[in-house]
């Protein structure tokens, strides 16, 4: 059973995949499956996807700060984190350590504060850029945040996806020809 981690002051929560005791120290593991192309890139660069890093840092931050009521005997003050990537194609694994620091969690806290303030004011937060550069693939792509948001159409308009697809097409064509584009 996954352990629910909460930040009630921000109305945020998530579920940790696994916590193991390794030599008297708790280690938090987030497990992610990926395709072989993405897995090979991770093997080469040894960097987690930004959203996976932020998710793991959120769990580390909350557990280090508040512990967990279901595990009162566990000292989480020295909790370490790891992200395990598993290739869906051949089940190879890569473990990437996550370095915790107060500085690393600042963007998470800032984003939670923005969302919380927007919620309290009954306003929409700023809309994320619909097109981002995917370092892993070396090309422009639709922002996963926008793609997975059930409300993005309300914020950006019904035609946001068609516009984003066109922008992706143009930017990737420019990449191939070496022409720089400017977003206006």
Per-residue pLDDT, averaged over 84-105, amounts to 95
**Sequence ranges of the domains in the chain:** 3-121, 131-177
pLDDT digit string (tens) for 23-48? 989 999 999 999 988 898 889 888 89
pLDDT digit string (tens) for 107-156? 999 999 999 999 899 988 888 899 999 887 789 999 988 888 888 888 88
Please provide the DSSP assignment of the chain as one string.
-PEEEEEGGGTEEEEESEEEEETTEEEEEEEEEE-HHHHHHHHHH----HHHHHHHHHHHHHHHHH--TT-TT---TT-EEEEEEEETTT--EEEEEE---HHHHHHHHHHHHHHHHHHHHT-PPPPPPSEEEETTTTEEEE-HHHHH-TTHHHHH-TTHHHHHHHHHHHHHHHHHHT------
Global pTM? 0.78
């Amino acid at each position: 059973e996954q352990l629910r981690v909460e930040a009630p002051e921000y109305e945020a929560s998530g579920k940790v995949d696994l916590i193991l005791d390794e030599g008297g120290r708790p280690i938090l593991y987030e497990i992610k499956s990926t395709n072989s192309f993405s897995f090979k890139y991770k093997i080469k660069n040894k960097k987690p996807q930004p959203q996976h890093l932020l998710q793991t840092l959120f769990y580390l931050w909350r557990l280090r700060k508040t512990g967990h009521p279901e595990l009162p005997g566990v000292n989480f003050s020295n909790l370490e984190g790891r992200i395990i990537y598993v290739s869906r194609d051949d089940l190879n694994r890569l473990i990437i350590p996550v370095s915790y620091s107060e500085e690393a969690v600042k963007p998470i806290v800032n984003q939670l504060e923005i969302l919380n303030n927007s919620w309290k004011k009954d306003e929409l937060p700023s809309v994320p850029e619909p097109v981002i550069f995917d370092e892993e693939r070396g090309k422009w792509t639709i922002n996963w945040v926008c793609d997975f948001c059930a409300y993005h159409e309300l914020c950006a308009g019904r035609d946001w996806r068609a516009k984003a697809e066109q922008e992706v097409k143009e930017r990737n064509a420019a990449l191939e020809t070496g022409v720089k584009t400017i977003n206006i």
